[in-house]
Structure 1
């Protein structure tokens, strides 16, 4: 499930947690770039920064298909020091800097699309 408030029209989106919690917590997630030029077989990096006062949370990357469907790519738990990986996808998670970059190695034509990073507080 993905928040309806997320919009690709602005580089900053205010997100409610992806999973319901007992509070009306909102966080800011900022993506400075929406389109990254590159050649096939290169490594592509997408940047994402966020703000939160929480110490325990999850970060996600999703890809939006042309029909609007959101496809889950990868998740990072804030308490884990090791960066998450999923096939050709990996993250550069820097908790102190509140930075959550996505790396796509050996990029392919089907990687073209709109990518979103998202934040969630635990249930």
Structure 2
């Protein structure tokens, strides 16, 4: 099993801090080195960070190329903590919901989209998409 993570930051404040950025960069580098065949895989996000107003819907996009994943997972990581699993969506599912969270997975567009409705300051975190 191999998967590729891409971090997507959702912020209600300017940044998470250099220590967190360094930690996440190290984790992504280790994954890249361990999963040799994924080197040609390209994952893009809609933006490095997303600043939104409280109560609005936050939308994070994970685009990929050169790969046909069976499923896409989303994780949340708070500063100083490990990633926490949020949702998994399979390639044959169009949409999945859990409380205020909604994810869509379009293998034709090669895109996964993560929505948080009625966003709150407590939603500030780094969000990770993982493909497998």
When normalised by structure 1's length, the TM-score is 0.71
CA RMSD after TM alignment: 3.0
1:61 — aligned with what?
74
CA distance in 1, matches of 2:5, 2:95: 28
CA gap 1:15/1:76 in 2 versus in 1, 3 angstroms: farther
When normalised by structure 2's length, the TM-score is 0.67
2:92 — aligned with what?
79
1:47 — aligned with what?
61
1:101 — aligned with what?
113
Greater RCO, CA 8 A, separation 6+ = 2
CA distance in 2, matches of 1:13, 1:101: 24
Is the Cα contact below 8 Å between 2:76 and 2:84 reproduced in 1? yes
1:19 — aligned with what?
none
Is the Cα contact below 8 Å between 1:64 and 1:70 reproduced in 2? yes
CA distance in 1, matches of 2:61, 2:67: 20
Structure number having the greater helix percentage: 2
1:30 — aligned with what?
44
For residue 103 of structure 1, report the CA deviation from its aligned partner: 0.5
Q: Are 2:123 and 1:111 equivalent residues in the alignment? A: yes
CA distance in 2, matches of 1:108, 1:86: 16
Structure number having the greater strand percentage: 2
Is the Cα contact below 8 Å between 1:15 and 1:29 reproduced in 2? no
Aligned pairs, how many?
108
